[in-house]
Each structure stands twice: as structure tokens, then as C-alpha cells.
Structure 1
């Protein structure tokens, strides 16, 4: 019923207005962009985890991965109170950011230790979170034990199942519920469209924001979830977009002048499969912004290119990610681009309006085919990789996401 409602909204709000141009772009293929260091983004084999429930009857405990966003590759008992859990990536080489997500419970109340096991060369990164009773919380660090043998999690179990994960799980369904409830349905100036499908046939939604006609308006592009576990960046994207649509007069004036294309989940396959980093073809999508071997990037680039052919150049692209600390990766080249002063002006306002905030900028022109380089080399636009730290508190993420959206609108309206 929910998906039927979504499809009705898509049709009601004019999905077909762009299809003619999009068809032409996809038939000819979007223009490729050259980078100094090419990356092979052709399909690579992956290993799928086996979905199952591991039952340890003598202990009265079970562990499973039978849900979207799960990552568990094996489980076996070490003693009467300890269970080893195996977590493997979808393929290698891959970033050293092991992701895990499993569900567990017990027939009676008891304390169990879980040992986290990763392949050689990989170390524990993410602090465990727990979902119980429909709510997520960070597990107290006193229950995360580091020993010579590895990382152990001490957990009190009971009959009510709980999910433990490296990051809060936001599946493609969760993302859809958010943008429908918070962005699309409350705002008639937001149109829900689709850039096509992922490798496995999941929808690649686009939220188009504009007041009035879209022709000849400068375009701002917002991206997130190229890498599945990077949910703190997604949280910033959520607050950024909610602020963008919710500022009354400022929103209206901004969207009269600019058109926003927001892509809330770039890699739905990787997200739902519980991948560490890659898509269903075993490829890092944020290395495919040159030749577009992967369907997700090709479809998004085709959509954005088609939109720009309606008049109005792409002037700004923000790609929301997560890493170890808050950081903005920027391009050094700015003179001659569509917004040569935006970055310095934006960062100045952020430090002014966010209490005790110091911008952490790392500028360098992209040598590998990542999105911020595509915006620069392919569109002569400002491209920024907007990274939020793994452990940045949610309240701080909300503050940064909200204020950065307001600052962006104010600066672009001044024509800087």
C-alpha cells in the first residue's frame, strides 16, 4: 500500500515531464569526464552472506541476519557464555571499515559475550549501537572490551530481540518513509521522481525542489549513501534537506531562483545487502564518476545532465559521506568556476553561526573519479564532499546540517 501511494505521488507530480530528454541522454550516454588517475569500475565478483538464524540451544541464545541491512557471515560458540561472530566484506580490496549488523535474543535473561572476528588486516572501527523497542542507542563503552584476542561485546539478552549494528540501520524502505513523510507529502513544491533503477532493480529516487518553472534556473545537486554504512552523513543530508524546505520565506525565495535535485539513496542495493562499501557489482560508486560503468552512477549522471539541458547550469554539488571526523573535502580550483567565492563565504558563515564550530577543510583537486571532481571537471561547478564524523553526536549533526543549508541559501541568494 505504501509503495502504491508512492507511485501515485510520482505520477501525480509529473514524472513524465523529463522522460523525453532523459531518454535521449541515456541512449547516447552522458559525457565522460577525464581524471588524472583512472580507476577500474567494471563489475567485480562479490560474496553474498547466507541469511539464516544461528541457534545455540545449550546456551538458549540465537543470532541472525534475516533483515535488510544485516551483515553476519558466521557464528559459533567459544564457551558456555561466549559466541564468536564472523564479519566479511562483500569483496576485496576494500576500505578498512568493517560493518556488522545482527539480531539476537535469548529464552531467558542472561549475559552473553560476543567476539567480533574480521579477516586478517581489518580492525574494529564502529562503536556498537543497539535497537530495542524501536529505538536506537549507543552501547556503553564499558561493555565493549578490547583484548589480545580481539573485540568482545558484553550484552544482556532476554526474550525481546535486539539488533546490534555498527551504525543505525537506514534501509531503502526507511529512507523512503522519511522522504515521503518529511519532504514530499508536506510540501507541494517538492516533486518525487526517479532516476531509474539500481543494479538489482531498486528505485533511485530524486527529490526535485523548485517554485514555479524550472527552466533556466541554476541547479544545486545533493547526493548521499554512495557508501552504505555512512549514515552520519545521511543524517546531515536529512537535516540539510529538512531545513532547505522548511524556512518559509527564505525557502520560497531560494527556490524561485534555484532548482535543487536531491538523491537520498545512491546505493540502495549495497545498503539493503549490508555491504561495507560497494554496490551489488562489488564497485565503489564514488570512483565511477568518469566512465559510468555502474548503472547507479550512469542513471544519476544522465538524469542530472538531462535536467541541465532544460536550461540552467549545474553550479553546486554536495555529496554527504561519513569518516572518522567532520571534514569538508574541497577542490583547489575555484577561479573561473560558476561560484568561485562560495566555499570561503559558506565556511565563514558556518563558523559565525554555529557555536564553537571550526571548519575542517581539506582542499585538493580530485585526481580520482569522485563526485566532487565530476562537478569541477565536468560541470565547471563547485563540488564538495561533505563528511560527518562516525561519532559526531546527533544533536551536533542536526545543528551543522540545518545551519549549513540556511547559510547556502542566504549566500546563493546574495549572488556571491
Structure 2
């Protein structure tokens, strides 16, 4: 065989492999047009230096050498005060400074940690402390606020304390949770991958249904686009646990419907301790139009290909986030969509299930390329951003998450019977 002929055959096989992997434009997900565009091209980020800082004159140590940590530097102010420098991954960025560090001392002592942020930013999150595996919110008397400066007063000893803006749920924590609590012995939960993040981390997806997938309407659940927004993730956990609870309601629901649940859409940002963006310096929840970021591109491709393969119709998308208060962001356009009456009926039923609870709804069609707009403009489906307050208590989050899941299943079952 001539060498050039062999080369041609190798190149032809490589061409076939590329086609099989869908690396040509014909397999790319269809772009969705929004009224207002956002630049989601890659941006430069600043990596924090990972190290354990020793404050020799105090015999105190501070470390950011773990996933989801955030401390960019420190300075001793006096014999009891340490100024922590907390900086974002890049600018511009929203005003939600995130921090996380471990600290310990040679001997027990009181230490004051002063949070310092770049100009234009101020303290947002009430610090949480983890000792012996349990998280506790710092008592307000130990959080000193003077003008624009916030200082945390804590007792530091030989046993390391974990201090963070929000409870840490790294990719490892998330993986352990869904493997133990959701996949476990539930043979109707199929653990799959939508691909990888910019730094090669897995984008897991839980494909959930009973029986045959063919023709089942699809509900999509998303969370952790923004790393610090763990209260929304907690609601996602309660919501999903209710769907797989094997109750009569959940069993009947999964006989009729299919759920695609994505428990961590921005694993790089989470493990890098970012305030908001992914490893390419971009807010993934502004990329649901052109899909320039691998996380959104891979998730959208997975959803679209799955629906097409099994002839499933995407009817509902819920994206779990956190903000200053509990709020549901909805689209005003509902007539002619897959579930035109779902929003009103869902909120009314949720208020019935929780005595005294009043849904806080903020309605407005998405102008920027966010996920709830993608469901509306791209799939003619109901899209909702499900926001939980930064400081909403865990038992309240669980109550809302559980009851909203049950209300959704009841309504969609009724809809399937018509």
C-alpha cells in the first residue's frame, strides 16, 4: 500500500470520528434571540494564590487551600485584628462578595477578622462557621459594622474553624449528595453527563422517569449557575428529593413525565471560590442565546438532543438561585405556551399547602439571555427563576421546596389527564 493512500484512509477515519462526535456546526444547538444581547466571550480572570498564611506575632494561621475557598491576601492590623482581602475573579461583577477560609491558633484566643473589598463593594453575607461538621450562623453581636467596614469576632483555637459567606457545597459535596440521596437504590434515576466545564469538570445530569422515555413531556431543573447561591441549591435538593420519594404522587408523576435535573452548572466557579462567574470569567446565566460558554452549550445540547431523540416536549424549566429575599421570577407571556395556566395555578396551590405563605412573584419577559427566557423563546415552555433568600432558614427552604414540588406534580398530573 502506498504511504499517501494509507494517510488518506486515516484522515477519512478521523473525519468520520469528528462527525460522530458532533463537532461540526450542524449539530450545534439552535441559537435563541433575545431583545438585549450580552457579551459572553471569554474574559480574563485572576486566580487567588492558594496558601496557608502564618501570622507569626499572633500564632494564628489562615488557609484557603481547599475547594470553594476565597481569600486573596491578608494583613495584620494589631495584636488581635487581621484584615482579609477579598477580591472578585474579574470585573465588572455583581455585588455579592464571597469568602471562605480555615483558621486556627497555637492557643485559644479572640481574633477579629476585618473584611476588605475593592472600591464600590461592601459586605453582603452573614458569615457561617463550621465546627465538627455542623454549620452555624454567626451571632449578630459578633459581627461589628462601622461605616463601610465589617469585622467578624470569633474565638480561634487549635482545632481549625471553617468560616464562609455561605455553607460550602463544592463539586465533591454535590456529587456525594446526589449519589447518596438521589441515585442510590432508585433504579428510575439514571446518572449521566452533559459533558465538561471549561476546566474539564463533569456536568452531571440526573435523568428521571419510570418505564419508557419515549414521548414523555420533560421538566428541566437547573442550579448553581452562580457559585455562592447555595440556598437555591438547598431548595433544589428538597424539590428533587420529593420527586424521587416513591410516594403514590411521585410514582404516578414519573409514569407520565421525565425530569432532567442538573445539580451543578458551574463546577469550576464553585471550586475556584468565585463570586459569580465561570473559569472563563463569564456569567453563565447570560449565555442562553449564543452558547459561547461550554457549560451552557453542553447543557443546552444535552436537553435538546434528549428531547429530540425520545420525541419529548419540554414543558417546564425551573432554575434555582439565591438573592436577598424569596422571589419567583416569571415570564409575562403565557398564552400559547406549553402550560399557559401553570404559574397562577402553581402559586395558588403552594399558598394553600403552606398556611400563611404568600408567593412573591416578579413577572417580566426576559430581555437578557437567561435560562427562563431560553425556555420561553427557545422552547415555548414555561420558564421560572426560583430564588431563595440568602438568609432564609433551612427548615423554611425545605418546606417551600417540598410543597412546591408536590404542587407541581399534582398540577401536571391533572394536565396530563385532560
Counterpart in the other structure of 1:6: none
1:207 alignment counterpart = 206
Task: List aligned pairs for 1:215-294, cutoff 5 A.
Answer: 215-294=214-293
> Displacement, 1:355?
2.2
1:410 matched to 2:413? The reply is no
The aligned counterpart of 1:388 is 388
2:176 aligned with 1:177? yes
* Cα pair distance change 1:109/1:243, threshold 3 Å: same
Give the secondary-structure state (helix, strand or coil) at the position aligned to 2:77.
strand
1:22–1:303 contact (8 Å) kept in structure 2: no
Cα 1:407–1:94, aligned 2, differ >3 Å: closer, same or farther? same
Aligned to 1:191: 190
| Mapped partners of 1:21, 1:384: distance in 2 | 34
Q: Point out the structure with max Rg over C-alpha.
A: 2
Whole-angstrom CA distance in 1 between matches of 2:25 and 2:320: 25
Contact 1:21 1:306 in 2 (8 A): no
2:156 match: 157
Which segments of 5 or more consecutive residues in structure 2 lack a partner in the other structure? 1-18
Contact 1:25 1:305 in 2 (8 A): no
Q: Determine the structure 2 residue equivalent to 1:324.
A: 324
Deviation at 1:148, TM superposition (A): 3.1
> 2:245, 2:397 → 1: CA distance?
17
TM-score of the pair, normalised by structure 2: 0.93
The CA deviation at 1:179 is: 0.2
More moved, 243-252 vs 227-236: 243-252
Aligned to 1:367: 367
Runs of 4+ in structure 1 deviating by more than 3 angstroms, as ranges, are 20-27
Q: Is the 8 A contact 2:188 2:209 kept in 1?
A: yes
Distance 1:411 1:322, change over 3 A: same
Are 1:336 and 2:336 counterparts? yes
Q: CA RMSD in A?
A: 1.3
TM-score (norm 1): 0.94
The answer as to whether partners of 2:317 and 2:381 remain within 8 angstroms in 1 is yes
User: d(CA) in 1 for partners of 2:24 and 2:188?
Assistant: 26
Determine if contact 2:107/2:158 at 8 Å carries over to the other structure. Answer: yes
Q: Is the 8 A contact 2:122 2:148 kept in 1?
A: no
Aligned mates of 1:366, 1:43 — CA distance in 2: 23
Judge conservation of contact 2:72–2:84 (CA < 8 Å) in 1.
yes
Structure 1 residues not aligned, in runs of 5+: 1-19
SS of residue matched to 1:205: strand
Alignment CA distance shift 1:360-1:26 (3 Å) = farther
- Equivalent pair of 2:69/2:272 in contact (CA under 8 Å): yes
Q: Classify the secondary structure of the residue corresponding to 1:415.
A: helix
Task: Give the distance between the partners of 1:346 and 1:292, measured in 2 at CA.
Answer: 30
Q: Residues of 1 paired with 2:363 and 2:323: CA distance?
A: 16
